[in-house]
Amino acid sequence: MERCFAELAERTSSTDAELAERTPNTDANAFGVVIVGTGMIAGLHIAALRSSTRARLVGLVDTDPARAAAASLANGGVRATTDLAEALAWPGVDGAIVCTPNGSHGAIAMAVAAAGKHLMIEKPLATSTAEATAVVDAFRERGLVLATAHTHRVYDYSMAVKAALDSGQVGEPQVIRATLLGGWIWGDWNAWVLDPARSGGHQLHNGVHLLDLVTWWMGATPDSVYARGRRQTATELPIYDYLEMVLRFPGDRVAVCEMSRAHRPSTTGHRDVLVIGTEGTVALPWDAEPSLVFGEQGVTALPPVSGSAFTRQLDAWLDGTPVAGGAEGLAAVAMAEAAEQSMASGQPVELTS
């Protein structure tokens, strides 16, 4: 489980655990979904499916037979396989939710498109712009709904910031700061996220969250990226655990994105948003928490209980109007790729739209 994520982001979705307790939807007319990859994030998608009156879980795919079997057991013995093609051919399957490591996204997405199924894919959409473009084209050509799970768009905090900006009270954003700092390094050296071939690196793994958010808040795509990366936890890290990305937007506007798994202590969960607009400021400071726990782990935030973010995300996909679609997923991949080039060259990288 991406623990830091749970701490930072799922402040809004603590009802997911309760949702998991509910009886699954057995209505055969409901939108049938297969889950591909049954790891940490799949659990939250499955919980949202269970609570849905419109969709139902048809079955599960995981290349690891033991994980496939365990996930089936945990979900009332729902059908499970290690073979994606087999699952996509099951009767009653209308779409897939893909929750596999990033490097497998492109190929799995193409298989889903070829099978004529709708897709919600975890971020990043793919690990290269070329691959992401092919996926977007494949879904567009077939008229299938493609959603990229840029989950931060459906958390209460980001929606509150967006609503404040959309209200027009603060004018045009001139500088946006978006900061998510954690200190949990994804387990040990075996974690797939640390392998650039499987994760695409941190900029594609978690960097895309902030790249997508600031683009959404700004209401524009950047024209250049200047990024700096750091291997803080260990010099031998094959990816950067701390990322800082400065995006320049048309019209002299700038976003500063910080994404970290490098901070100490390892329990760090620090989120900070500051938008300085032409006429006002929107601030969501790191200490803007309604409930705090003074415990043996230090001071931690107690997530407030509110609507499930994953339910919002699922419903939007089912409506055919995903929170973030293929274009947004592709844009995030392109920005992350530019960030990677910038970190390699030490120079800003221009983005072509």
Partner 1 sequence: MINVLLAGFGGLGDQDHQTAMYLPAFTAHPAFRIAGVAATHPADEPRALAAAESAGVPYHADLATALSTVDAPVVSVAAPAQTRTDALLTAVRAGRHVLADKPFTPTRAEAEQVVAAAEGTGIVVAQHHRYHPMVTAGVAALRGGTVGLPWNVQVDFVVAGGHPCQDELLNFGGYPVDVVAALTNLPVLRVHATAAGPLTVLALGHEHGMTSTIVVGRTAPRAGVPEGRLAHHRYRVSGSHGVLVLDATKPAVTVSTASGLDRQWLPVDTLTGLLDDLHAVVTGAKPAGPTLDDALRTAAVLDAARRSLTEGVPVATDGGTA
Q: Could you list the residues that contact ligand NAD (CB under 6 A)?
A: 2, 5, 36-42, 61-64, 67, 99-102, 104, 122-123, 149, 151, 205
Q: How far is the CB of 52 from ligand NAD (least distance, A)?
A: 18
Question: Within its chain, how far is the Cα of 141 from the centroid?
Answer: 25
Contact at 8 Å (CB) between 265 and 4? Answer: no
- Minimum gap (Å) between residue 331 Cβ and ligand NAD: 16
Token pair for 6: 């749970």
Q: Does residue 270 belong to the site contacting partner 1 (CB under 8 A)?
A: yes
Helices and strands counted in the chain (H then E): 13, 15
Tell me the backbone φ, ψ of residue 280, rounded to 5 degrees.
-175, 180
Q: Shortest approach of partner 1 to residue 133 CB, angstroms?
A: 27
The nearer residue to partner 1, 306 or 345, going by C-beta atoms, is 345
Q: Is 279 in the site for partner 1 (CB under 8 A)?
A: yes
What SS3 class is residue 346? coil
Residue of 167, 169, 266, 278 that binds partner 1 (CB under 8 A): 278
Compute the least distance from the CB of residue 166 to partner 1, in Å: 19
Query: In this structure, how many other beta carbons lie within 10 angstroms of the beta carbon of residue 252?
Result: 8
* 109-138 binders of partner 1 (CB under 8 A): none
323: which 2 tokens? 């929170």
Q: What are the structure tokens assigned to 346, written together?
A: 């030490």
Q: Which residues contact 91 (CB under 8 A, 6 or more apart)?
A: none
Which residue of 140, 142, 177, 198 would you call a contact of partner 1, by CB under 8 A?
A: 177
Count the helix, strand and coil residues of the chain and give each as a percent rounded to the nearest 5: 40, 25, 35
- Residue 106 Cβ vs ligand NAD, minimum distance, rounded to whole Å: 11
Binding residues for partner 1, total number by CB under 8 A: 35
| Shortest distance (Å) from residue 194 CB to ligand NAD | 12
45: which strand partners? none
**Of the two residues 197 and 344, which places its CB atom closer to partner 1 in the complex?**
344
Tokens (6 digits) for 73: 């057991």
Tell me how far apart the alpha carbons of residues 181 and 139 are, in angstroms, rounded to a whole number: 34
Binds partner 1 by CB under 8 A, chosen from 94, 156, 195, 258: 258
Helix, strand, or coil (residue 52): coil
Residue 83 tokens read as 């073979």
Other residues' Cβ atoms within 10 Å of the Cβ of residue 2: 20
CB-nearer residue toward partner 1: 37 or 183? 183
Least separation, in Å, of the C-beta of 49 and ligand NAD? 15
Q: Which is nearer to ligand NAD, 12 or 38 (CB)?
A: 38
For partner 1, the closer of residues 76 and 298 by Cβ is 298
Question: Looking only at residues 218 through 257 of this chain, which bind partner 1 when binding is defined by CB under 8 A?
Answer: 226, 228, 230, 232, 242, 244, 246, 248, 252-254, 256
Beta bridge partners of 209: none
Q: In what order do the strands lie in the sheet with 281-284?
A: 281-284, 269-277, 173-182, 253-260, 242-249, 224-230, 349-350
Rounded Cα distance, 253 and 102, in Å: 31
Nearer residue to ligand NAD within complex by CB, 42 or 275: 42
Closest approach, Cβ 235 to partner 1, in A, equals 11
Report the residue closest to ligand NAD, judged by CB: 39
Alpha carbon distance, N-terminus to C-terminus of the chain:
35
Q: Among partner 1, ligand NAD, none, what binds residue 99 when CB lies within 5 to 8 Å by partner kind?
A: ligand NAD
Instruction: Tell whether residue 169 is a contact of partner 1 (CB under 8 A).
Output: no
Instruction: Candidates 274, 284, 327, 351: give the one binding partner 1 (CB under 8 A).
Output: 274
Give the interface with partner 1 as residue ranges (CB under 8 A).
174-175, 177, 179, 181, 226, 228, 230, 232, 242, 244, 246, 248, 252-254, 256, 258, 260, 262-265, 268, 270, 274, 276, 278-281, 286, 346-348
